[in-house]
Chains A and B, each alone.
Chain A
Amino acid sequence: MNPIEIIAQYWPRLLDGTLMTIKLTFLGALIAALVSPGFALIRTHAAPLAQAPLRLYISFMRGTPILAQLFLIFYGSGQFRPILQDWGLWTFFRDPFNCALLAFALNSTAYQTEILRGGIMGVPQGEIEAAKAIGMTRFKTLRRVVFPHAYRIAWPALGNEVILLMKASALASVVTVFDIMGRTRQIFSRTFDFSIYLWAALIYLCITAIFVLIWRQAERRLSRHIEAHHKPRVAAQPAKEPQA
């Protein structure tokens, strides 16, 4: 078969896989985005001893392969089946989609926390002092001064993290989730036609390209008040942090 025939015959499956990849990536990134601001605040404000568990978690997530993390959750939960059944959690862990989502959310939370921490530390002290001077409460300062600026600093790095997560989501195919990669492997095992891999590559590249465009638009929106007056300064790079 030629590449056109392959895509003509199998596009519904690939579309299905594409939606699954987007769903996994979006939900994983979203869950991590909800948890990471709190964690980032702990990383910047809590006492070193109180941070220890969080630092250990982040180091573990960044120092081990995401495939191993996925296996630890998906296959590893089987070892605790009786307990999980007692707690009514077994149906959750039996489903590969749930396990993949949990692994990706946990992994991305670690990365997003560190990125956001860099952003928070990049907020000039003067802005926080100014907020204090006009009588803002601590919470209000965080909401109106620190986080808006921190997100603007962290935005490009957060976009990179989402792309990394999208690429990592292809690993879900190994535990039988039918995302783009899962569908591609399924189709290849039937047709032995190599061109299906090239179609999959094209889809991944298109998703990345579209995402980059959307993310850049959002970035422009986040800093529209700056552009009106002068060119944005080179955003302070988040502090270089150790990998593991």
Chain B
Amino acid sequence: MFLRTALLVLKKDFAIEVKTLEILVTTLFFAVSCVLVFSFAFVKEGQAPPDAAAGILWIAIAFSGTLALGRTFERERYAETLRALLLAPAPRPALYVGKLLGILVLLALDALILVPLIALLFTAPLFARPLLLLLLLAGGTVGFAAVGTLFAAMLIRSRTRDVLLPILLYPITVPVIICGVRGTAALLESPPDETTAVMWLGILFALDVVFLTLALWTFEPLMTE
């Protein structure tokens, strides 16, 4: 029941998104323009500092993720469909998991374009340890999206949601960003510093567990009016 509900919510979001690809295309464009803006800030004499690529990657993911979160829930608000979902006789945490999965798919597609692009533009050896990078990206996006989905869902009732979402999200997800950036930067060293990356990965997964548990625990009372 739980998993089925979550997958149904995901399927619904997927069906809407596939029709226009609105959120995917706009957030991707935004992420790429973020990368360009940062390249103007960091590149000197045709070269960026060696670990700038790590920071740029994660900032692009975080910024475009915020945009995607806002848009996904704006869609739910527009037709009051979130209320309909909440009225359905389904476990509420399952709704949360469904929305979270949707955001994660979007962020994964984002990263799929961003990582090769940044590797190319900054000649960064991002693919030196593909498995570790993949795990870092997975851990980072899960942590970021776990908090983001919860906050975006509860901000749906608020008039000032566009401003409040980044205000709340960034201070709270800073540890996730630090782990992601430092872990990725360790992989960019030559030779890649695997032990440091694994240590950051450990902290990242611990954070994910805390965030997911808290989000599942508080989603029910938060969404009850």
Q: Do A and B come from one complex?
A: no
Seen from chain B, the residues whose Cβ lies within 8 Å of a Cβ on chain A are none
